[in-house]
Amino acid sequence: MFSTLLQAVLICTSTWILWKFFRHAVIFEEAKWFTRCVAVLEGNAHHLMRYASGDLGPLAASRCEHHRKQRKLLNPVFSINHMRHMMPTFYKVTYKLQEAIEQRVRGGPTEVNMVMWMGRTALELIGQAGLGYSFDKLTEETPNELGDALKPALATLGVFLQFLPLAEAVIPDRWLAPLGRAVPIPGLRDLMRITQTLDGKSREIFAKKKAALLTGDEVLAMQVGEGRDIMSVLLRANMAAAEGDRLEEKELLGQMS
């Protein structure tokens, strides 16, 4: 009994210490390599070619006051009330998955690659609920430029991520993109092509979302996600926020990519 009580006290104490330690970003500042890697993995993927320390990426890679400003806008997006409104989107995509698999087994027993189908479904759920964008119709085999770029992005990026600190230390930012285009390494060229595609499509989706939001709710209701996707809610909250609390366009794009 004593050992159980002591264990509970240690757990509670450790949790309290961790909370006290980590809640202040000024006290605990993440290592530079960590924030850069997170920015590359979750934020603007073209950081790999530029490593620009001033170009802020996702919530996980931001710190201090800037982190709190981002969190203030993003917290309502992940509220229970908003997540409840996203359930119809999840059901709709799931029913499409069901229909797609039924089409393939209708003729009799057949092998179905469920890992592939789960990956496609997860990407479509993220697209519709997160960006208000459809990557994959599931029931049809139609190519999608953004979806095709996203699938190999993480694996391709992981190969070069280990060289990030060295490249940052010896190569000026402005030379990284030209050098990347000049070096005859197929994987690096693939990565640059992927990041350019992600950046271009992110900007295209962002521009359409912003235009629809300025036009009115009727236009948003006709889009994928019906204006309830995370990006639409974030844009709406950002436009309604005070001038000092608003995120810049490059930061909003960082949340997308």
Q: How far is CA 53 from the centre of its chain?
A: 19
- Give, in order, the Cα–Cα distances in Å from 153 to each of 45, 76, 82: 9, 29, 29
Q: How far is CA 98 from the centre of its chain?
A: 26
**What dotted CATH number matches 31-256?**
1.10.630.10
Query: Alpha helices, DSSP H only, in the chain?
Result: 2-22, 32-42, 47-50, 64-74, 80-85, 87-105, 114-125, 145-161, 164-170, 173-182, 186-215, 217-221, 230-240, 249-256
Digit-coded pLDDT (tens) for 72-95? 777 777 778 777 888 888 999 999
What residues does each domain of the chain span?
A: 31-256
Residues 107, 91: Cα–Cα separation, whole Å: 26
What six digits make up the tokens of 111? 């092998």
Digit-coded pLDDT (tens) for 7-48? 444 444 455 555 555 555 444 555 565 556 555 544 444 444
Q: pLDDT truncated to tens, each residue of the chain (257 aa)?
A: 434 443 444 444 455 555 555 555 444 555 565 556 555 544 444 444 343 333 434 444 445 556 666 677 777 777 787 778 888 889 999 999 999 999 988 888 889 889 888 988 988 898 888 888 888 888 877 777 777 777 777 677 767 777 777 777 787 777 777 777 787 887 777 777 877 888 888 888 888 888 877 776 555 555 655 677 888 888 888 888 777 778 777 777 777 76
